[in-house]
A and B are shown apart, each in its own frame.
Chain A
Amino acid sequence: MEQLLNRICVAKFDELPENLGRRVHVGEGNLEIAIFKLANGNIKAIENRCPHKGGVLSEGIVSGELVFCPMHDWKISTCDGKAQGPDIGCVKTYKVEVEDNDVYLLIEK
């Protein structure tokens, strides 16, 4: 089934610092997304809540495609959202598109 997606510009590509996360609040609710510009220049977006205890992943140390949760050091993949062993858990991932210098986040309507 085709999902309806909102495409929202959230940042300028060249203004996003490498290997640092940025928090994106969506709407009035509690949804928060963490956006990362990795060292290889790829932009990744995941739910900003560690599956362990809800730590803010956007403030974690980024290494390659992994982010280390600042609360208890869980390792989460920014690509598929999965916690790395031996921990088990998963966060949602979001699609990101970069056009010219604009970074767009695709979220469900």
Chain B
Amino acid sequence: MKKQKIVLIGNGMAGIRAVEEILKLAPNRFKITVFGSEPYPNYNRIQLSKVLQGDTEVADITLNTWEWYEENGILLYPGETVIEIDTDNQIVSTDKKRQVKYDKLIMATGSDPFMLPLPGIDKEGVTAFRNIKDCELMISASENYKKAVVIGGGLLGLEAARGLLNLGMQVDVVHLSDCLMERQLDKTAGKMLQKELENQGMNFLLEKQSAEITGLDRVEGLKFKDGEEVKADLVVMAVGIKPNVTLANESGIQVNRGIIVNDYLETTVPNVFAVGECAEHREMVYGLVAPLYQQGLEMAKRICGIDSEGYQGSVLSTQLKVSGVDVFSAGEINEDEDTKSVRVFDDWLGVYKKVLVKEGKITGAVLFGDTQDGTRLLSLINKKAAIEEYMDNARSEETGLDLIASMPDEEIICGCNGVTKCSIVEAINTQGLTTFEQVKGCTNASRSCGGCRSLVTDLLAYTVGDAFEQNQKESICGCTTLSKDEVIEEIKDKGLSHTREVMHVLGWKSEEGCSKCRPALNYYLGMLNPLEYKDEKESRYVNERLRANIQKDGTYGVVPRMYGGVTNSTDLRKIADVADKYDVKLIKVTGGQRIDLLGVKKEDLPSIWAELDMPSGAAYSKGLRTVKTCVGADFCRFGTSDSIGLGTKMEKKFEGMNAPHKVKMSVSACPRNCAEGGIKDVGVIGLDGEYEIYVGGNAGTHMRQADLLAKVKTEEEVIEMTAAFLQYYRETANYLDRTSVWVERLGIEHIQTYLSDEKMFKELNQRMDESLSIVQDGWKEVLESETMVRDLYQNVNIPAGSN
């Protein structure tokens, strides 16, 4: 039988996804030709904002390589635009005078950015944010210019603005409404978002209507209706998109806002389909990826002659891709007379959740700060679940599995990398995966923001069934099935003494382990046997191995120790001299009250340390970093204790301590807590005649308010309690778990009970002292060893033209 000819107009995500579905359903039945105006293979347009934000590169966002087209026998004409469709004879013609006949035509022409018709719009330096070219223009503008103005405070505008900030530009965001992303967020979430982005450095001009772009050849400013004007070297227009329907319209296909299609994505003209952003289905035009993929699947079924109920429309959901901000919304977002809502609002942690309920059914959700529930809520909204199901879900794991079971195969689990339920299930089944890490490694799911981790884990549990339980003891890494506790037991039992021995005796799958287990084993061995164990430099991450913090360009940061954050003029002079002599690129005061010298070459590190002649600040270590202190009773009019004195004592005591992860401490001299003990691993607050010790706080990725561990009377007791706490953490935490995670795992009550046993308390203190007894200054150790200087810091230089 002769192959039927499919022609696809538009080489973007929606069209190519539809082609992939067709190839899956009916391989070899069609001869497929694709026309695309952009000179690239299909790429992930959603990730453009990540390219702009510097998180990824253009090459990394390609979805289908040139080889893919070839392997599937698809004829691709990149950089070629279809300009005419003869629907009677079923022929398309292009701008390169090519004519191709079709049996089925798919229009996936996408949409164009909407450009406000302002005077001056054609000036140099005015751009949309839609394709790779726009992205490149913005990146090159950032190299020569300072000030950018983004028009539009919606999803795209904010992602563009974040990208421009990362590129080092000053950014104003102009928005017509008084609230950001008002189509996706309610007022509360919009305001929280605004505050967060202002903290990141964005400046907002709300309720402003743009009137004119000023300047000679290049843009110099933006004028508003109210007469005000701001300076601008770059104007990015991100006010919306409009479906690209020109070609369809000219070809006699019925269009409204988009190309009108029925449930099978058929247009009003026989054998012509439309899919994606250009299509209008039941008066809705979709601009997000999930609905477009659903449309593609339904259309593919129709083209391949498979019965289905067709496309039924989608509930919209949104996730903002700006680092450090978690925002999610789906379905309805604002209450009306018929809706009720369930809300959680935690101003301290910056978390806001709202679930809208109409007649008992979930109809929409807005999440800010914690978006883990996002995918689940979307799924519940899609199946019009009762609110009880969500409320119960929050407590019961089983319903989580039910939910996974009821998800359609095409549902996207990982929004960042576009990984669907069925592709994860397939990987699990065909490659016999049993752990979350393996799934992440093989499918890319959860590799970007990690927000879908719980879903992936549920899906794994659901797919492998009983086999799941036994694997959930959380093995150290993919090289072994043993958990940390089991490995530690074996090390003690069998008296194992190096990483290679551990891996060999305990049957590691790879002979030399990986970047996860090797540093972990090195730590466990050292923690169990501090006096005998010889630390393995080659099993340390780069920063710890080189005792400096690697930067993105391969240079390093140097942070000398300043006990309690106190310095003096001699040290400052030395630091200044060294900075000049070694051409330090940036001198920065850190969050832990230290000075960081950035941009140092590796080979210069030993000489800088020698000339500084100060102890290492250990800013690179998994161990004690800093003890931050407030001014305290000597100078502060509120201070009730000597915070600097105690902080310095603690820092001198625990300096050089290794731990599963970094440990930050602080001492404040009154409840105002200027040293921010609420977000430290150990935060001490000195009151009148008493000290409070808080633990397990964290301000980073796993934000957590510290718990009160104990109240004690003297400085000595503070130090003993801290030592016992930290030693217990050192002995029982998983490598790379901060105290926040560990305290949450064990529970603060458990830790308090354990430490209240006098014998345990004493022994923990003894073991801590033992491990501290062998501590050497990180820098001195290097300077005293010629081999270390040679092995770790010397480069080889081959002069040009040598032989």
Known: A20-B537, A54-B554, A62-B538; 12 extra A-B contacts, CB below 8 A, are A17-B791, A23-B796, A27-B798, A52-B60, A53-B57, A61-B514, A63-B514, A71-B552, A85-B442, A86-B441, A86-B444, A107-B798
A51-93 with Cβ < 8 A to chain B: 52-56, 59-64, 68, 70-71, 73, 85-86
Counting CB contacts under 8 A, is A18 at the interface? yes
Q: Are A64 and B799 in contact (CB under 8 A)?
A: no
What are the residues of chain B within 8 A of A56 when measuring CB–CB?
550, 554
Counting CB contacts under 8 A, is B31 at the interface? no
* Residues of B participating in the A interface, judged by any CB pair closer than 8 Å: 57, 60, 441-444, 510-515, 518-519, 537-539, 541-542, 545-546, 550, 552, 554, 602, 790-792, 794-803
Tell me the nearest residue of chain A to B442, going by C-beta: A86
Counting CB contacts under 8 A, is A28 at the interface? yes
Q: Are B800 and A86 in contact (CB under 8 A)?
A: no
What are the residues of chain A within 8 A of B803 when measuring CB–CB?
6-8
Given A20-B791, A86-B441, A10 contacting B515 (CB threshold 8 A)? no
List 23 A-B pairs, Cβ < 8 Å.
A10-B798, A11-B796, A15-B790, A17-B791, A19-B538, A20-B791, A20-B792, A22-B796, A23-B795, A24-B796, A24-B797, A25-B796, A26-B800, A27-B799, A39-B512, A53-B552, A54-B554, A56-B554, A59-B554, A61-B515, A61-B519, A61-B539, A70-B550
A1-47 with Cβ < 8 A to chain B: 6-8, 10-11, 15, 17-20, 22-28, 35, 39
What are the residues of chain A within 8 A of B602 when measuring CB–CB?
23
Q: Are A17 and B796 in contact (CB under 8 A)?
A: no
What are the residues of chain A within 8 A of B444 when measuring CB–CB?
86
Q: Are A64 and B795 in contact (CB under 8 A)?
A: no
Q: Are B802 and A6 in contact (CB under 8 A)?
A: yes
Q: Are B514 and A68 in contact (CB under 8 A)?
A: yes
What are the residues of chain B within 8 A of A53 when measuring CB–CB?
57, 552
The complex places the Cα of A17 from the Cα of B787 at a distance, in Å, of 9
What are the residues of chain B within 8 A of A86 when measuring CB–CB?
441-444
What are the residues of chain A within 8 A of B511 when measuring CB–CB?
39, 63-64
Partner of B515 from the list A35, A54, A73 (CB cut-off 8 Å) is A73
Partner of A24 from the list B539, B554, B795 (CB cut-off 8 Å) is B795
Tell me the nearest residue of chain A to B60, going by C-beta: A52
The complex places the Cα of A59 from the Cα of B57 at a distance, in Å, of 23
Partner of A70 from the list B538, B542, B801 (CB cut-off 8 Å) is B542
Q: How far is the CB of A65 from chain B (nearest CB, A)?
A: 9
* Residues of A participating in the B interface, judged by any CB pair closer than 8 Å: 6-8, 10-11, 15, 17-20, 22-28, 35, 39, 52-56, 59-64, 68, 70-71, 73, 85-86, 105, 107
Q: Are A20 and B538 in contact (CB under 8 A)?
A: yes
Given A24-B798, A63-B513, A64-B511, A17 contacting B542 (CB threshold 8 A)? no
Partner of B510 from the list A61, A62, A64 (CB cut-off 8 Å) is A64
Q: How far is the CB of B53 from chain A (nearest CB, A)?
A: 13
Given A6-B802, A20-B537, A70-B542, A63 contacting B518 (CB threshold 8 A)? yes
Q: Are A70 and B541 in contact (CB under 8 A)?
A: yes
- Counting from the closest, the 4 A-B pairs by CB-CB distance are A27-B800, A68-B515, A70-B542, A19-B538
The complex places the Cα of A55 from the Cα of B554 at a distance, in Å, of 7
The complex places the Cα of A48 from the Cα of B510 at a distance, in Å, of 24
Q: How far is the CB of A88 from chain B (nearest CB, A)?
A: 9
The complex places the Cα of A85 from the Cα of B443 at a distance, in Å, of 9
Q: Are A64 and B512 in contact (CB under 8 A)?
A: yes
What are the residues of chain B within 8 A of A59 when measuring CB–CB?
542, 545-546, 550, 554
Partner of B538 from the list A23, A52, A61, A71 (CB cut-off 8 Å) is A61
Q: How far is the CB of A46 from chain B (nearest CB, A)?
A: 15
The complex places the Cα of A60 from the Cα of B514 at a distance, in Å, of 11
Q: How far is the CB of A21 from chain B (nearest CB, A)?
A: 10
Q: Are B801 and A27 in contact (CB under 8 A)?
A: yes
What are the residues of chain B within 8 A of A25 when measuring CB–CB?
795-798
What are the residues of chain A within 8 A of B442 when measuring CB–CB?
85-86
The complex places the Cα of A24 from the Cα of B799 at a distance, in Å, of 10
What are the residues of chain B within 8 A of A22 when measuring CB–CB?
794-796
What are the residues of chain B within 8 A of A61 when measuring CB–CB?
514-515, 518-519, 538-539, 541
The complex places the Cα of A85 from the Cα of B803 at a distance, in Å, of 38
Q: Are A8 and B798 in contact (CB under 8 A)?
A: yes
Given A68-B514, A70-B541, A26 contacting B554 (CB threshold 8 A)? no
What are the residues of chain A within 8 A of B60 when measuring CB–CB?
52
The complex places the Cα of A86 from the Cα of B798 at a distance, in Å, of 35
Q: Are A17 and B538 in contact (CB under 8 A)?
A: yes
The complex places the Cα of A28 from the Cα of B442 at a distance, in Å, of 40
What are the residues of chain A within 8 A of B552 when measuring CB–CB?
53, 71
Q: Are B515 and A26 in contact (CB under 8 A)?
A: no
The complex places the Cα of A28 from the Cα of B800 at a distance, in Å, of 6
Q: Are B515 and A63 in contact (CB under 8 A)?
A: yes
Given A22-B796, A23-B795, A61-B519, A8 contacting B802 (CB threshold 8 A)? yes
What are the residues of chain A within 8 A of B542 when measuring CB–CB?
59-60, 70
The complex places the Cα of A52 from the Cα of B803 at a distance, in Å, of 32
Best-buried of A24, A61, A70, A71 by chain B (most CB within 10 Å) = A61
Tell me the nearest residue of chain A to B796, going by C-beta: A24
What are the residues of chain A within 8 A of B443 when measuring CB–CB?
86
What are the residues of chain A within 8 A of B791 when measuring CB–CB?
17, 20
What are the residues of chain B within 8 A of A85 when measuring CB–CB?
441-442
Q: How far is the CB of A78 from chain B (nearest CB, A)?
A: 12
The complex places the Cα of A11 from the Cα of B538 at a distance, in Å, of 19
Q: How far is the CB of B506 from chain A (nearest CB, A)?
A: 16
The complex places the Cα of A68 from the Cα of B541 at a distance, in Å, of 10
What are the residues of chain A within 8 A of B794 when measuring CB–CB?
22
What are the residues of chain A within 8 A of B796 when measuring CB–CB?
10-11, 22-25, 35
The complex places the Cα of A27 from the Cα of B800 at a distance, in Å, of 4
Q: How far is the CB of B426 from chain A (nearest CB, A)?
A: 14
The complex places the Cα of A53 from the Cα of B59 at a distance, in Å, of 11
What are the residues of chain A within 8 A of B550 when measuring CB–CB?
56, 59, 70-71
What are the residues of chain B within 8 A of A19 when measuring CB–CB?
512, 538
What are the residues of chain B within 8 A of A24 when measuring CB–CB?
795-798
Q: How far is the CB of B89 from chain A (nearest CB, A)?
A: 43
What are the residues of chain B within 8 A of A26 when measuring CB–CB?
798, 800
Best-buried of B444, B515, B545, B550 by chain A (most CB within 10 Å) = B515
Q: Are A63 and B798 in contact (CB under 8 A)?
A: no
Tell me the nearest residue of chain A to B441, going by C-beta: A86
Q: How far is the CB of A108 from chain B (nearest CB, A)?
A: 12
What are the residues of chain A within 8 A of B799 when measuring CB–CB?
27
What are the residues of chain A within 8 A of B518 when measuring CB–CB?
61, 63
What are the residues of chain B within 8 A of A35 when measuring CB–CB?
796
Tell me the nearest residue of chain B to A5, going by C-beta: B803
The complex places the Cα of A64 from the Cα of B791 at a distance, in Å, of 19
What are the residues of chain B within 8 A of A62 when measuring CB–CB?
512, 538
What are the residues of chain A within 8 A of B539 when measuring CB–CB?
61
Q: How far is the CB of B314 from chain A (nearest CB, A)?
A: 28
Q: How far is the CB of A30 from chain B (nearest CB, A)?
A: 11
Tell me the nearest residue of chain A to B444, going by C-beta: A86
The complex places the Cα of A17 from the Cα of B538 at a distance, in Å, of 9
What are the residues of chain A within 8 A of B792 when measuring CB–CB?
20
The complex places the Cα of A28 from the Cα of B798 at a distance, in Å, of 9
The complex places the Cα of A61 from the Cα of B517 at a distance, in Å, of 11
The complex places the Cα of A103 from the Cα of B259 at a distance, in Å, of 67
